[in-house]
Structure 1
Amino acid sequence: MYPTANRAYVRVWAIGVGLIVLLNLLGVARWHIDDGLRDSFENLDTRVILQRLQQPHSVGEWFVGDWVLGNGFYRPLPSVLYQLDYCLWGEDLLRWKWTNGLLATACALALVGFLTTLTGQRRLALAGGLAFTLWQTGFAPPIPLWVGAFALAAGMAWGYGQGDWRRGAVWGCLAFALVVEWGFVADLPDIHMQSFAYRAMGWIPGRTATLMALFALLALWGAAGYARSGRVGWAALAVGGFVGAMLSYEQFVALPVLMALAVWAVGAPRPRMVRAWGVCLACLLLLAPYAVFYRERIPTQTQYHQQRVKRSKTLPMTAANWLAPPASEAWMQVDLTLTAPLNFAFPRFWLAQVGLVAYLIALRQVLRTRYGWLGWLGSLLAYAPTAPLLPLMHYYYLPVALRALWWGVLLLCLLESRPARGGVALAAVDESPATPAAPSGSGR
């Protein structure tokens, strides 16, 4: 009986991974379009990069100074990728987009691998990978917020029919939060009103973020694997991924904290956890020579840098939006009521407050799991280095990958929730700190 069940799990796993690959490749084809590569403002950086590659230059100079675009950043690996595209395709900029699409596909697969090692749960890994794929390809169908409100009311009615409306309300709150999170990525701001999918797959300069995210996911994968098994190869992957991210994009500075959080989320025995945290500490210490090098070799007081900084007073609301997406609407309604008291009597005011309370109830329920903390708090920490800057969608790439983990945990909590005496069961995501990784065929 076990071999048959094992084959079924392998079959589902293969179908799930194959679907993720197929959707990403379809996304690559979808965004392989000329969006004004020769004349639009969005592609100005691409044209400047092409001009610089056509001039005499040395690849080695990117590793000891400013990158190929020359606007005050240390990004040697993306510069090398641009050089590779130029060698392969010359001035045919449309073909350069193949690299962006392949990087995004690799990130989706790396996310699935990371989540599998982190949680030992294939369902969660596939759910997170599929959500991330649909977001970055633009294939994610919009789900109206009223669906979440209906699910909230239905959950309360269901619980009332079972004899305890509170337990049904928790299920409804989870469903509401799931709908809110599904639309979270589409609602993220971009100063040029571009979509997340366009920045990920259709915008050539966006590869700085996707390349960094790929190395960051490998680093997180290595940290989780080292915490689970204690094998040195995983530690090498963690450090190698960190160095690759460091050579790609400045947002990597949050990576040591994310790696430490991933190690904690694994819940391995203390000796292995301490050794894995030692790897995270080594990566953190690498930031010191990086900062010294950056200060000495990279021009940071440029007009471009000054133009990118937004007003600091917006940071608290930005953080609140990541921690509880309904908070911004709820606060806006409260603020409006302070100047127009009659707003207190309108349904929109109360719906916003109920939505925030429902999300907070779901948050409390899901944060009983360590994986939930990594997805929820980790996404904000990943975005933190770029939070003071004017928003562009590619800043969200690594944060959205971790948000996919959060969405997957919400989904599994919803599927496994049921009214039962003593509370809502969360068997799908319950884990013990001392529990080793599940066998490859268990599907746990």
Structure 2
Amino acid sequence: MHALSGIRRRGGLLLVLVLCALPGLAHVRSGQPLEYDQDTPIILAGVDATGGLLGSWRWFVNDWPLGSHLYRPVTVVSLALDRRVWGEWAPGYRLTNWVLANLVNLLMVWLMLALTRSGLAAAFACALLSAERWGFSRATLSGTEEYAVPLVAVALFLWWQGMAARRAGKTRTTLVWEAPLVIGLAALVVLLYERRDLGTTSTWIATRTTHLGTLFSTAMIALLVVYAQRQQPKFLVLAVAACALAMASYEQAVTAPAIGSVWLALIHPHGPRAGLRASAGLWAVLVAYILVRQAVFGLQPNWYYRMQVRTRWKELWEWVEYAAPLFLDRTIWRVRPEGWLALWYRPLWLSVLGAAGYVLA
């Protein structure tokens, strides 16, 4: 009976994943055309000029084609691979983004099952990610029909889970108390991840960087959870590799070592000290990232909007000046454009809550 219940739950979550993926196909079919994109054609031209996919290794030791002092070699390689596969067919590039987004959903479902042991939390997290990615606008929280399919998916799964729980002997009162807890934890953990709406983004490259950074960051946390459960070093090595790929895809992933350290400190079976010792590899990746950036960009100043600085220090110090506010922005407080500081829930604190939920579950 337990095995049958597990099969039913996996079948229900697979249905949720499929339903949550469907709205994104509209963006694949009729998304932003290439002629309105300012950045991606420049990057594709740079890829062509350096030998396409076979020459894409050069971007690991050079500034990317936009010349804006952003170290994103993994992103450029992914576009070089797209160039080889899709050529000039624009929907193909958006299809790759759609696949990456759904891989994040799949990882999120697994992660929520590992953290909460609740299929409802997994379904809700998947639907929340999908609703934001396919139809979420930061200007409005309503008026978008893309919410319909993910919410229907959650409603169906909630009914499915409720029927199974009642057959298992749980009372209606227990279900009423459990549902908000697991849904709340899913909502908190899902906010860890960078998302970009495929329907409103102005460039493919902006979407690709966030999707790759999100995918590898999510994979890092999932691998750390597996490592904590099984205590096999290979999963820790894979988590460190995922951390490195995230940083090489998206600058905002510089906070990944701190987030990973919090997870390890809280869920390591031998206690926080053992978890922090295990996180040394993540911090080694951060040090290597800084050194590589310094070697690639040398002493030249940045002009990119968030990396623009008012000093003429060496690249290492410019990077610190860029990374420090970003790290604070994603951990303790948010720096408002008006210049004042406000306490804000950010990924590091959400990691504490998520990992604590795992420990207490």
TM-score after normalising by structure 2: 0.67
Change in CA separation of 1:199 and 1:115 when aligned onto 2, cut-off 3 Å: farther
SS at match of 2:279: helix
CA distance in 2, matches of 1:195, 1:219: 20
1:76 deviation in Å?
1.1
Change in CA separation of 1:30 and 1:56 when aligned onto 2, cut-off 3 Å: closer
1:377 partnered with 2:354: no
TM-score after normalising by structure 1: 0.55
1:87 aligned to which of 79, 84, 87: 84
Q: Aligned partner of 1:286: which letter?
A: V
Quote the residue 1:242 is aligned against: 243
Change in CA separation of 1:315 and 1:210 when aligned onto 2, cut-off 3 Å: farther
CA distance in 2, matches of 1:139, 1:306: 24
8 A contact 1:118–1:262 mirrored in 2: no
Quote the residue 1:292 is aligned against: 291
Quote the residue 2:100 is aligned against: 103
1:82 deviation in Å?
0.8
CA distance in 2, matches of 1:12, 1:88: 36
8 A contact 2:136–2:197 mirrored in 1: no
CA distance in 2, matches of 1:115, 1:224: 11
SS at match of 1:129: helix
Show the 5 A alignment for 1:11-410. 11-38=8-35, 40=36, 43-57=37-51, 58-138=55-135, 196-198=197-199, 203-266=204-267, 268-270=268-270, 274-298=273-297, 301-305=301-305, 314=337, 319-320=342-343, 322-323=344-345, 377-378=349-350
Give the number of the structure with larger relative contact order, counting CA–CA contacts within 8 Å between residues 6 or more apart.
1
CA distance in 2, matches of 1:10, 1:87: 39
1:216 deviation in Å?
0.9
SS at match of 2:34: coil
- What is the total number of aligned residue pairs between the two structures? 290
CA distance in 2, matches of 1:10, 1:317: 51
CA distance in 2, matches of 1:430, 1:117: 8
Q: Aligned partner of 1:75: which letter?
A: R
| Unpaired stretches in structure 2, ≥5 consecutive residues | 144-176, 310-321, 326-334
CA distance in 2, matches of 1:277, 1:231: 16
CA distance in 2, matches of 1:318, 1:196: 27
1:14 deviation in Å?
2.2
Name the Cα RMSD after superposition: 4.0
Change in CA separation of 1:376 and 1:62 when aligned onto 2, cut-off 3 Å: closer
8 A contact 1:245–1:252 mirrored in 2: yes
Change in CA separation of 1:260 and 1:304 when aligned onto 2, cut-off 3 Å: closer
CA distance in 1, matches of 2:358, 2:33: 49
Percent identical across equivalent pairs? Answer: 23
8 A contact 1:37–1:94 mirrored in 2: no
Q: Aligned partner of 2:288: which letter?
A: P
SS at match of 1:74: coil
SS at match of 1:303: coil
